[in-house]
């Protein structure tokens, strides 16, 4: 069984007992979180699509840890003027484990 869930404006295809990196959530590690924005629910036999969400369906997850992604470099340059800028950042992520769909 799988579900497509909207988490902080991004859509993730999740399965039970799966671990995923999502944009940072304001929850402490080892806490439970519930997502009610379930867009699609499916298994081998059928697929149910919401319009836009499936009413009454929730996905429960456990927050495992907060971490940072790899460095993303932003390099700007203009030819023949000596202008160069090198900046970078690390996106903050939260690792979650899906405990229950339904």
Arithmetic mean of pLDDT, 4-18: 94
Which sequence spans correspond to the domains of the chain? Answer: 2-101
Per the structure block, which two tokens stand in for 92?
A: 């903050």
State residue 44's pLDDT score.
Answer: 87
Arithmetic mean of pLDDT, 75-91: 97
Secondary structure (H, E, C), 4-54:
EEEECCEEEEEECCCEEEEECCCCCCCCEEEECCEEEEECCCCEEECCCCC
pTM of the model: 0.83
Give the whole-angstrom CA distance, residue 40 versus residue 11: 10
pLDDT value at 32 more than 90: yes
**pLDDT tens string 41-82:** 998 899 999 888 999 999 999 999 999 999 999 999 999 999
Band the pLDDT of 100: cuts 50, 70, 90. Answer: very high
Give the whole-angstrom CA distance, residue 98 versus residue 17: 5
pLDDT value at 92 more than 90: yes
Band the pLDDT of 102: cuts 50, 70, 90. Answer: confident
């Amino acid at each position: 069984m799988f579900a497509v869930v909207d988490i902080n404006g991004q859509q993730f295809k999740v399965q039970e007992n799966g671990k995923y990196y999502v944009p940072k959530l304001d929850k402490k590690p080892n806490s439970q979180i519930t997502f009610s924005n379930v867009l699609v629910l499916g298994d081998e036999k059928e697929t149910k699509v919401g319009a836009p969400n499936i009413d009454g369906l929730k996905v429960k997850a456990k927050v495992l840890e907060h971490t940072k992604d790899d460095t993303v470099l932003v390099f700007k340059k203009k030819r023949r003027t000596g202008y160069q800028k090198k900046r970078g950042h690390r996106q903050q992520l939260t690792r979650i484990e899906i405990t229950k769909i339904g």
